[in-house]
Structure 1
Amino acid sequence: MKTRLYLTLLAVAVASAQPYKDLEGPTGAVYALAFSSDSRYLLSAGSDRTVRLWHMPHGTQLARLIGPTASVNALGLLPDSAGTVWGASSDGKVYQWRFQEYRKSGPSLRPLRSEALAKRVLKSASIDPWEGLALHPSRPILYAISRGGLLVAWDIEEGWVQTFRDTAGVAYTLLLSPNGKNLYVGSGTGNLIILDAQSLEVQKTLRGHTKGIRGLALSPDGRTLASAGLDGKVMLWTIAEGLRTKTLEKHTDGVRAVAFSPDGRYLASAGKDGLLCLWALPTGRLEKVIDLGVPLWTVSFSPNGQYLVAGGEAALLRLWRIDQLGIRPIQIIAETDSLYAPPTDLQDNIPQCRTAQPHRYAFIIGNEDYRSFQPTFTPAMNVPYALRDAYTFRMYAENVLGVPPLNIVFLQNATAAQTERELEKLLLLIQASRGKAEVFFYYAGHGVPHPQTQESYLLPVDASPTAPDKGGIRLTDLVQKLGGSGAEKVWIILDACFSGGAREESPLAARGIRLRPKPVVLSGPVVFISATSADEEALPYHQARHGLFTYFLLKALKLKGCTHTPIETLLEEAATETTRYSLLLHNKLQRPTWIVSPALSEKILGSPW
């Protein structure tokens, strides 16, 4: 008898120790979630036409916010003491409640206000369901996006309405930047449309997904946008440049929602395949996969970072404590040590210290996304931050080095044919300068040694690492072409390595190949600047989201590039910090090097750029 009782108690204890809690109450699919700013309250909404208020962390249902006659698809919460929340419904209306009134009114709250926006804008009996909703942080403006691609800006106090329609005729989601300046719309075509929030004019269109975008999320620092596509992919974009930096692949069906953790360390994605994926950032490493067994619609982190919630079909509303998920926290460098202070933002407040020099040219390549061009590559074989490095170097080339914008060749994820074609055009421009040209060649991406000859190659995104002589750029050939082009000076700056190592995982390292590359013989007026020595790896600086060497080189230019500091001083400072941080952050040695061709005097490094 005692044994049976002990086993019963043990079974109860095990059941209660499960790392999640199912919140019981919804009677249909859960489409939307929103936390209060203090993480004390959770709001959920879905196909049962009800918004439910939950008390955290126990998941107790406090109230039902009723009124809509169709599903509630999106929620927007204001950070006020009244708990003002808006809901967008498939009945063509938007509704307003104040959930704190449940203390006086009881567990069922009627809306304070509703507005038939769809009927007002369309002026017809047809109803266009609202799919997304956003509230302006400082003005009384509500934005809503309909399934038919209609974006509406409605002044809640004055009543005026402004509209924009996606020409695709289908849209799924809407996001407003925290400063209220930009709107992000997930189109049914797979395009990510960026609009000015005041004029509703299109600022930029980002293309990458092959099917519609169902979910959007902005990183806590406001610099990275995540998009969830019905093509089964999650994509990360830089806000400033509009560049796709990563494609995260695990889902086997459409991804419907994404959410950043408040500290920016993790991204959660929820899909129609029932998978909830947790990705470590900024590496994009898949940390955990949870199969919930039913299609998912939404996911959210609590603002205090302690809880994760997912909602889906079959009334699923599940709550986890983060510390019970077993995910490994990313190491955060101590901010109290000046050595590990937060990195400088290289893209803010770039000094402009030179007028455009008509005979200065820049050829800039950022090769990051090898996976999209070579299916045998794993996502880890991409080069983290190469696009960001190249884009930032372009900004410094224009503002600090004085290269005219028309004299800049900028290639992103360049194929062999693109690289060769643009390089030939550069050589013609150099010849037209009649000996006055000064060229800056910058490359961030994979470098590989030839498996037999050990000669170094730059690797276009479509070139094979095992046969780099077929499509790769032999470094010796590049030096000879630029050195013999008739230019007065050529600076070749490479944030790559040529041993089979890489910033994360290289296509050769994955095959167990690690070689000591042959040294490059310089000819012509060339200064060769490399991020590494011999068989070392070119490492990333994850906190700054740059290659380690590029970060410290551009930081030196930012701080001293306008002060007539000698080039050699800038390089020495960048090299010292690169080596120091490579040991402290990665426990590996990375020593940048530079060589001046015999055709130039060493004194060239004693002058400023």
Structure 2
Amino acid sequence: MKQISILFFALVFGALKLSAQEVNLKQFISVKGEMATSLAYSPDGKMLASAIFDNKIVVTDTKLGEKLFEYKLKGTPLSVKFSPDGKYLVSAGKDARITVYNLENSTIEYVLKSHKHDVTSIDIDPKSEFIVSASKDKSVKVWKLGETTPLTSFTDAIGQVNSVAFHPVGSSIIAGDSKGILYKWDIERNFLKAKFKAHNGWIRKVAFSPNGQHILSGGDDKLINVYSSHDHDLVNAYRIHKNWVQTFAISKDSRYLLSGSHDGYLVLMEIETGCIVFKSEKQKDYILAVDFAPNANQFASAVLFSPKVNVWDVLDMNLDQQSIEIAERLKNRLIKAPSVSFTQKDSTTATEMFSLEYEVASEMWIDKIFIKKNGKILYKESWNDIKNDISEEENSFVFTGKKSLLLSEGENLYQVIATNAVGETELASPKINYVKPVLVEETVIATVEEISLTEEVATSKNQLEVVNVGPAFTFEYDSTMPTNPYRFALVIGNENYHAYQTGLEAESDVPFAHNDAQSFYDFALAHLGVPQENMIFLKDARYIEMMKAVKKLVGVSEMLEGKAEIFFYYAGHGFPDEKTKEPYLIPVDGSATDLEFSAIKLDYLYEQLTVHNTKRATAFIDACFSGGARETGLLASRGFKVTPKEQDITKNLIVFTASSGDQSSLPYKEKRHGLFTYFLMDKFQETKGEISYKELSDYLTETVGVKSFMINNKKQVPQTNISPEIEGEWESWTFK
């Protein structure tokens, strides 16, 4: 065996926190050779195959760094894969061929020829029975291992197909093309199951998560998108790179995502939270290929024009073994679709509100739960919505649901549909016959239970205390004040921007935004009468999370037909568009250089808060929109300020903002709050919410304006923006 020189690096990046594990990451070995275009670990992790630009495949021992063997091709390989059973190594590339190498007898077994252009990507099904290939000729072909004629050829793509992947069960395939379209085919019945626009520009990489729940795609719009594999809803959008996303890989337990980009960075992140847990130093060029070792104690990367493959050692990254076992059972088709059951029977009631109780059990993660009536979806919940209420019983995940439903006169029949990666189950509910009372008129209050709380509230002796928020704000509950089921609140505190974006340091964060949001959240529960189930509380919210929360409020206001009262609070970065001067709220994964696609326009937010004639909407925004910020700012190095465009306020909306014009919204470091929010909460604590909107407006304008000079030696004057439609009446509005 030829010994390949191995370079050891002493570059250690220290201990990084991955969930509950301390993980040490360092550049472990570097294997000399030509530039690699694709990488693949063998199923046992003992071999690493590199598709080498110089028309060959090189296979290396991952422990010793020795070259085990290589074989020549007629063109540059672009994709390489081991079969899951470890018997074959399959490659494809610019020669428009697919080469199948037999690892047991060390020979090229056969070559597949059918594509008319470069074969850009291949994958092999979990049972090592089929190969799928994608090509610049806009086709996707399915082959049976051992046969040289394709079983099926799909020609639905409108652009060249750059990436293709099998579902963990092997029942479907996905592909992404140069037009940004993502395709999904059912290969058991040979038809196109889904086709939708996933990216603006090329899709470079697609994959199913090993647990089958999600479809992931990366493209030239710098995004890694996550879709439900069942109904293709956008679940998450990761904005962790500053240039094209070229490649990514997913850990075997579906917890971690390793990605490489044209920005030159290799990034390891937690899929569920979007939090970056490791970022490499900037490489000399863009990342061409990455792959996880099966046991995840290593991952490999290749860089454009670099004559070496880097292997990175992840010393203590323990995978979730339960997740791996479920994925293995899924692959072997040992898991069934969920079961649905009801605890109630057919009944007759004179009460217009009915609480539907049901139970969903699944051997793996529940993907979605729908409640329908007459074909219309009333509720839709994903795993993220229900995961905190899941119990595990005898190898099953069990969710017990309870939904308040508004009955129609006569017979009511609902359907509960539950899905997982295997399939779906639909079951009709018991029949509920509503007999409307003749003599008694009742006022029915519709309670919306779908909004779930994301933070726990600590209560003791009728008090709710804010812990570790600087000033010890303590809000005493008013026991005489009932909660108002028509009141809803969305509270957002975006502080840790650097944890979600490459190229940002901690100085770009918004100090004390978590404290600010926590204080307002606690006050809303204690004194605004907002029921806990009507609160949405987000810390370090990404773009997709903020958009979903706003849309949830829109759905609530539509359902309540003018009876909803909405409170919105935001602490974090704001930024204006340089050309239009339109102000935007910036999610933690949002870019001030790409506002249209990664931030929320303030005009859009205001419109959504009142689109369904909300009874009253009140917004508090502790952010500035001039380009300045509490500390150095998201783009402080640009050294300019913009006077943002004034926003149109309509209907029953009133907005309290932390500053005016091109002023910055400053911190109150001694109190560990934003200056505006500190005095807002101080007045709310003093009055317990017994204050009119006009009194609060006058107090904030004067107090913050004066204190800003005294504390920060800068001008900061809050503004109150009022819709012309409520002129003459808003002054007497009160918060209770």
TM-score range, shorter chain: 0.5 to 0.7
> In the alignment, which residue of structure 2 is the partner of 1:575?
none
> In the alignment, which residue of structure 2 is the partner of 1:93?
97
> In the alignment, which residue of structure 1 is the partner of 2:397?
none
Distance 2:144 2:258 in 1: 33
Secondary structure at the counterpart of residue 32 of structure 2: coil
Distance change (3 Å), C-alpha of 1:356 and 1:224: farther
Distance 2:336 2:451 in 1: 16
Shift of 1:276: 0.6
> In the alignment, which residue of structure 1 is the partner of 2:253?
263
Q: Is the 8 Å Cα contact of residues 162 and 203 (structure 2) preserved in structure 1?
A: yes
Q: Is the 8 Å Cα contact of residues 446 and 502 (structure 1) preserved in structure 2?
A: no
For 1:95, the aligned partner's letter is T
Indicate which of 133, 136, 140 corresponds to 1:151: 140
Secondary structure at the counterpart of residue 48 of structure 2: strand
Distance 1:14 1:169 in 2: 42
Q: Is the 8 Å Cα contact of residues 52 and 58 (structure 2) preserved in structure 1?
A: no
Is 1:204 aligned to residue 174 of structure 2? no
Shift of 1:133: 1.0
Aligned ranges for residues 157-236 of structure 1 at < 5 Å?
Answer: 157=146, 159-236=149-226
Aligned ranges for residues 118-157 of structure 1 at < 5 Å?
Answer: 118=115, 127-138=116-127, 140-157=129-146
Shift of 1:354: 7.2
Secondary structure at the counterpart of residue 228 of structure 1: strand
Deviates more, 1:150-159 or 1:512-521: 512-521
**Identical pairs, percent:** 16
Distance change (3 Å), C-alpha of 1:210 and 1:260: same
> In the alignment, which residue of structure 2 is the partner of 1:406?
376
1:541-596 CA distance string (max 9 Å, x none): xxxx9xxxxxxxxxxxxxxxxxxxxxxxxxxxxxxxxxxxxxxxxxxxxxxxxxxx
Q: Is the 8 Å Cα contact of residues 51 and 77 (structure 2) preserved in structure 1?
A: yes
Shift of 1:350: 2.8
> In the alignment, which residue of structure 1 is the partner of 2:285?
294
Distance change (3 Å), C-alpha of 1:408 and 1:518: closer
Aligned ranges for residues 323-402 of structure 1 at < 5 Å?
Answer: 323=315, 348-351=338-341, 392=368, 394-395=369-370, 397-398=371-372
Shift of 1:360: 8.7
Distance change (3 Å), C-alpha of 1:163 and 1:334: closer
Is 1:441 aligned to residue 445 of structure 2? no
Indicate which of 67, 72, 76 corresponds to 2:77: 72
> In the alignment, which residue of structure 1 is the partner of 2:532?
530
Distance change (3 Å), C-alpha of 1:354 and 1:47: farther
Q: Is the 8 Å Cα contact of residues 228 and 269 (structure 1) preserved in structure 2?
A: no
Aligned ranges for residues 536-547 of structure 1 at < 5 Å?
Answer: none
Shift of 1:185: 0.6
Distance change (3 Å), C-alpha of 1:307 and 1:14: closer
For 2:274, the aligned partner's letter is G
For 2:127, the aligned partner's letter is S
Distance 1:163 1:346 in 2: 29
Secondary structure at the counterpart of residue 278 of structure 1: strand
For 2:120, the aligned partner's letter is E
For 2:241, the aligned partner's letter is H
Shift of 1:141: 2.6
Shift of 1:15: 5.0
Distance 1:242 1:90 in 2: 32
> In the alignment, which residue of structure 2 is the partner of 1:276?
266
Distance 1:254 1:500 in 2: 29
Distance 1:89 1:177 in 2: 22
> In the alignment, which residue of structure 1 is the partner of 2:314?
322
Any gaps of 5 or more consecutive residues in structure 1?
A: 1-11, 103-108, 119-126, 336-344, 363-387, 413-425, 449-474, 481-493, 523-527, 546-609
1:77-120 CA distance string (max 9 Å, x none): 22345x31111121111111123445xxxxxx5x22112122xx
Q: Is the 8 Å Cα contact of residues 141 and 154 (structure 2) preserved in structure 1?
A: yes
Secondary structure at the counterpart of residue 339 of structure 2: coil
Choose between structure 1 and 2: higher helix proportion.
1
Secondary structure at the counterpart of residue 184 of structure 2: strand
Is 1:479 aligned to residue 486 of structure 2? yes
1:437-479 CA distance string (max 9 Å, x none): 996634437999xxxxxxxxxxxxxxxxxxxxxxxxxx99972
Distance change (3 Å), C-alpha of 1:238 and 1:407: closer
Indicate which of 17, 22, 30 corresponds to 1:22: 30
Shift of 1:509: 4.2
Distance 1:273 1:238 in 2: 28
> In the alignment, which residue of structure 2 is the partner of 1:53?
59
TM-score between both structures, scaled by the size of structure 1: 0.56
Distance 1:229 1:87 in 2: 23
Any gaps of 5 or more consecutive residues in structure 2?
A: 1-6, 13-25, 324-334, 355-364, 383-404, 411-433, 438-443, 456-481, 498-508, 546-736
Distance 1:501 1:346 in 2: 40
Is 1:116 aligned to residue 122 of structure 2? no
Shift of 1:530: 3.3
Distance 2:30 2:56 in 1: 18
Shift of 1:529: 6.6
Shift of 1:312: 2.7
Distance 1:334 1:113 in 2: 38
Shift of 1:174: 0.2
Distance 2:51 2:90 in 1: 11
Q: Is the 8 Å Cα contact of residues 361 and 440 (structure 1) preserved in structure 2?
A: no
Number of residue pairs aligned between Structure 1 and Structure 2: 406
Distance 2:120 2:321 in 1: 40
Distance 1:14 1:168 in 2: 45
Q: Is the 8 Å Cα contact of residues 357 and 404 (structure 1) preserved in structure 2?
A: no
Shift of 1:170: 1.8
Choose between structure 1 and 2: higher strand proportion.
2
Q: Is the 8 Å Cα contact of residues 94 and 117 (structure 1) preserved in structure 2?
A: no
For 1:202, the aligned partner's letter is L
Distance 2:352 2:407 in 1: 14
Is 1:309 aligned to residue 313 of structure 2? no
Indicate which of 32, 38, 41 corresponds to 2:38: 32
1:262-315 CA distance string (max 9 Å, x none): 233321001122211111231110112112221212110100111110123113
Distance 1:13 1:538 in 2: 43
For 1:530, the aligned partner's letter is Q
For 1:89, the aligned partner's letter is G
Q: Is the 8 Å Cα contact of residues 172 and 186 (structure 1) preserved in structure 2?
A: yes
Distance 1:502 1:430 in 2: 46
Q: Is the 8 Å Cα contact of residues 168 and 211 (structure 2) preserved in structure 1?
A: no
Secondary structure at the counterpart of residue 320 of structure 1: strand
For 2:448, the aligned partner's letter is F
Q: Is the 8 Å Cα contact of residues 216 and 225 (structure 1) preserved in structure 2?
A: yes
Shift of 1:73: 1.2
Distance change (3 Å), C-alpha of 1:360 and 1:222: farther
Distance change (3 Å), C-alpha of 1:404 and 1:355: farther
Shift of 1:184: 1.0
